Amino acid sequence: MSSLEIVEKIKELAQKKDAVILAHNYTRPEIQDIADFVGDSLELSRTASRLSSKVIVFCGVRFMAETAYILSPDKVVLMPDPLAGCPMADMITASQLRRLKEEHPGAKVVCYVNSSAEVKAESDICCTSANAVDIVKRLDAKEIIFVPDKYLGTYVSKMTGKRLILWQGYCPIHAMMRADDIIRMKQEHPRAKVVVHPECPPEVTDIADAVRSTSGMLRYVKETDAEEFIIGTESGIIYRMEKENPEKRFFPVRKDTICINMKKITLEKVLNSLEKDEYRIIVPDEIRVKALRSIERMLE
């Protein structure tokens, strides 16, 4: 079957089954093109919570599909590839978090949405890269534990002036970026603005013009009066940047910043997902209800 035929079949089946296709900003161009909505983690969770469709086909990584299910347990949430995980989310388990909480009794726990449902269930409030600074700023607590991303945590701590107890997790893709990469790219493109994701190490966020979530980066490049941008995140985002801003130019900090998990979602797998109602994402109720509390607190 040609790609065009697969796309036609996907559209036909999605309509027949009352399915909405959600995709993250890092997914392959052809996935973004067939999606009903493309966004960052916060936008995707908000959209998932408001949808009235029966089925959600989630084109992203597991924690995102889990979050959609936690918010909408009455819907069928499908992942085209159940093995598309997030290595950072796997860097902390619920029992490790319980142990950390025992070491800091009374501390409030903020968990980055890039975490398992079990870790969310052990946390007081969830956050995404778009709202982490606001959430920590408003949190009234003597001690705050922040898991699992040490780099996002360091950035939030700097922006809020609050000391955080950090877990030592990180995103292997964003952790590759170095200040030297930015300096080299700036030499090649001196007029370019540098915009990076807060999952990058501090040496990178410190010298960027802007630090934003993926959709925040998309808004920044649209609204900023510059013609060239150096982009410090997973390079899949450049597809949407170029599509929405054909008159501007975008250069990745490094060409090899590719999240292989996001790229596991292909057109063939989306079609298979709709044909066979695979792969259903379900979070057991005892975990779901607790995790929901921390996600709802964030959305409030």
Q: Which of residues 9-28 bind ligand 13P (CB under 6 A)?
A: 25
- Neighbouring CB atoms inside 10 A of 108's CB total 18
Q: Least distance (Å) from ligand SF4 to the CB of residue 276?
A: 25
Q: Which of residues 202-261 bind ligand SF4 (CB under 6 A)?
A: 234, 259, 261
Written as one string, the DSSP assignment of 150-215 is HHHHHHHHHHH---EEE--B--TTGGG--HHHHHHHHHHSTT-EEEE-TTS-HHHHTT-SEE--HH
Q: Least distance (Å) from ligand SF4 to the CB of residue 64?
A: 8
Q: Does 66 bind ligand SF4 (CB under 6 A)?
A: no
Pick 13 or 258: Cβ nearer ligand SF4:
258
Q: Which two tokens stand for residue 177?
A: 């970026």
Residue type, position 261, single letter: N
Burial 232-247 (b: 16+ CB within 10 A, else e): bbbbbbbbbbeeeeee
Q: Which of 47, 114, 123, 131 binds ligand 13P (CB under 6 A)?
A: 114
Residue 254 · residue 196 · CB < 8 Å: no
Q: Which of 21, 55, 77, 88 binds ligand SF4 (CB under 6 A)?
A: 88
Q: Which of 27, 45, 67, 129 binds ligand 13P (CB under 6 A)?
A: 129
Q: Which of residues 187-216 bind ligand 13P (CB under 6 A)?
A: 197, 199, 213-214
Burial 88-100 (b: 16+ CB within 10 A, else e): bbebbebeebeeb
Q: Does 273 bind ligand SF4 (CB under 6 A)?
A: no
Q: Which of residues 159-198 bind ligand SF4 (CB under 6 A)?
A: 171, 173
Piece of the chain touching ligand SF4 by CB under 6 A; list 82-90, 92-100, 154-162, 239-247: 82-90
Piece of the chain touching ligand SF4 by CB under 6 A; list 27-35, 83-91, 176-184, 280-288: 83-91
Q: Does 261 bind ligand 13P (CB under 6 A)?
A: no
Pick 14 or 214: Cβ nearer ligand SF4:
214
Q: Does 86 bind ligand SF4 (CB under 6 A)?
A: yes
What are the CA-CA distances from residue 72 to residues 51, 149, 194, 294 (Å)? 9, 26, 37, 15
Helix axes 62-71, 285-299, angle to 10 degrees: 90
* Nearest-angstrom CA–CA distance, 243 and 199: 24
Q: Does 32 bind ligand 13P (CB under 6 A)?
A: no
Beta bridge partners of 231: 195, 252
Q: Which of residues 153-192 bind ligand 13P (CB under 6 A)?
A: 171
CA angle 10, 77, 50 (to 5 degrees): 95
Residue 131 · residue 155 · CB < 8 Å: no
Q: Least distance (Å) from ligand SF4 to the CB of residue 52?
A: 28
Using CB under 6 A, list all residues that contact ligand SF4. 61, 86-88, 114, 171, 173, 199, 234, 259, 261-262
